[in-house]
Amino acid sequence: MDLFEYQGKQFFASYDMPVSPGEAVTTVEDAVAAAERLGTLVMVKAQVHTGGRGKAGGVKFAADIDAVRTHATNILGLDIRGHIVENLWIEKASDIAEEYYASFTLDRSAKKHLGMLSAEGGVEIEAVAEENPGAIAKIWVDPVGGLAEDQCRQWVLAAKLNPDVTDQTVELLMKLYGAYTDGDADLVEINPLIVTPEGRVHVLDAKVTLDGNAGFRHDLAPFDATQPRDEREAAAHAKGLQYVGLEGSVGVIANGAGLAMSTVDVVNQVGGKPANFLDIGGGANADVMSGALEVINNDPAVKSIFINIFGGITRGEEVANGIIEAMNRVDISSPIVVRLDGTNAVVGWSLLDPYLSDRLVMEPTMLDAAQKAVALVEGAAS
Whether residue 11 is contained in a domain is answered as no
DSSP string, 64-84: SHHHHHHHHHHHTT-EETTEE
Q: What's CA 34's distance to the chain center, in Å?
A: 29
Q: What is the pLDDT of residue 126?
A: 84
Q: Give the pLDDT score at 1.
A: 83
Q: For residues 337 and 3, what is the distance between their CA atoms, to the nearest angstrom?
A: 38
Structural domain contains residue 186 = yes
pLDDT score, position 14 = 95
Residue 131: CB partners within 8 Å, gap ≥ 6? none
Q: Quick check: 340 and 364 in contact, CB under 8 A?
A: no
Cβ-based neighbour number of residue 33 at 10 Å: 16
Instruction: Write the CATH number for 143.
Output: 3.30.470.20
| pLDDT score of 284 | 63
So what's the pLDDT on residue 348?
93
Residue 328 confidence (pLDDT): 87
Residues 131, 161: one domain? yes
Catalytic residue check, 101: yes
Residue 242 maps to which CATH number? 3.40.50.261
Q: Dump pLDDT digits (tens) for 82-110.
A: 899 999 999 999 999 999 999 999 999 99
Q: Which of 189, 317, 318, 363 is catalytic?
A: 189
Domain contains 9: no
- Give residue 311's pLDDT: 82
Shared domain check, 141 and 260: no
Q: How many CA atoms lie within 13 A of 244 on its CB side?
A: 9
Instruction: Say which CATH number the domain at 31 has.
Output: 3.30.1490.20
pLDDT at 345: 93
Whether 254 and 358 share a structural domain: yes
Q: Among 58, 73, 92, give the residue marking a domain's end.
A: 92
Structure-derived torsion over alpha carbons of residues 224, 92, 200, 186, reported in degrees to the nearest 10: 10
Q: Is 189 considered catalytic here?
A: yes
Residue 160 lies in a domain: yes
Q: Looking at the whole model, is its pTM more than 0.75?
A: no
Q: Examine residue 4 and state whether it is found in any structural domain, yes or no.
A: no
Q: Are residues 204 and 236 in the same domain?
A: no
**Helical segments of 201-315, H only:** 221-224, 231-238, 257-269, 286-297
Residues 78 and 192 in one domain: no
Do 238 and 362 share a structural domain? yes
> In terms of domains, do 111 and 140 share one?
yes
Ranges of residues in the chain with a pLDDT under 50 are none
* Domains in the chain, number: 3
Residue 307's domain spans which residues? 231-381
Spot the catalytic one: 100, 101, 177, 243.
101
Same domain? 32 vs 123: no
Among 59, 92, 125, residue at a domain's last position: 92
189 and 236 housed in the same domain: no
Task: Report the C-alpha dihedral over residues 202, 203, 204, 206, rounded to 10 degrees.
Answer: 180
**Residues 211, 146 within the same domain:** yes
Let me know whether 143 and 65 are in one domain.
no
- In angstroms, rounded to a whole number, what is the distance separating the alpha carbons of residues 111 and 140? 9
On the CB side of 82, CA atoms within 13 Å amount to: 4
Of 201, 221, 241, the domain-final residue: 221
Neighbouring C-beta atoms of residue 213, cutoff 10 Å:
10
- Specify whether 147 is located in the same domain as 261: no
86 and 110 in contact (C-beta within 8 Å)? Answer: no
| Strand partners for 98 | 195
